[in-house]
Amino acid sequence: MTFSQAIREIRERIVLEHMEAENALELDRALGTFAHPRYEIIGTGEAYDGPEEVERYYRESRGAFPDQRNEWISLRHADDAVIVEFWLLGTHEGRLRRLEPTGREFRCRMTAFFIFEGAELVCERVYFDSATILRQLTARSDGVSRS
């Protein structure tokens, strides 16, 4: 096995453990997959850097969507990253900024770049269209959006 193959296997194992931990709501385990925890949420322009901020991100997102989970579609390797395309799903059961809980479900296709330094995960950078989620949360039963 070459060095690059070994690194790819380690990185892939870390990413899959991270995603599994998020689905199981084992957020301490997900946090532990990082050498340095950092999330960059490109769809909202937010960044969470360090353990305390990432824990706050977990609390906020799981407070709004307690059943938030991912279903991965594909996984690819780059020189310094593992790129995962996935569905993010959840039910809006808690306040999301100014939006009161709607009880509605959402499903949004996303891409996450898991950035590595060597074999250490240092950032998850997530790309998605936030309007896709908002439309699903605010749509009336007649299909008209309330936003």
CB 105 within 8 A of CB 136: yes
What is the secondary structure of 5-59 as a DSSP string? Answer: HHHHHHHHHHHHHHHHHHHTT-HHHHHTTBSS-EEEETTTTEEEESHHHHHHHHH
Cα–Cα distance for residue pair 127/144, rounded to 1 Å: 26
Name which of 60, 39, 59 is nearest 49 in CA terms.
39
Task: State the Cα angle at 56 between 55 and 60, rounded to 5°.
Answer: 120
Confidence band (pLDDT; 50, 70, 90) for 139? confident
Residues 35-77 have pLDDT tens digits of 999 999 999 999 999 999 999 999 999 999 999 999 999 999 9
Tokens of 83: 């790129």
- pLDDT band of 97, cuts 50, 70, 90: confident
**Closest alpha carbon to 31 in 18, 45, 41:** 18
pTM over 0.85: yes
Q: Which domains are present in the chain?
A: 3-138 (3.10.450.50)
Average pLDDT (68-93) is 97
The 10 Å Cβ neighbour count of residue 102 is: 16
Residue type, 47: A
Nearest to 139 by CA among 104, 95, 107, 92: 104
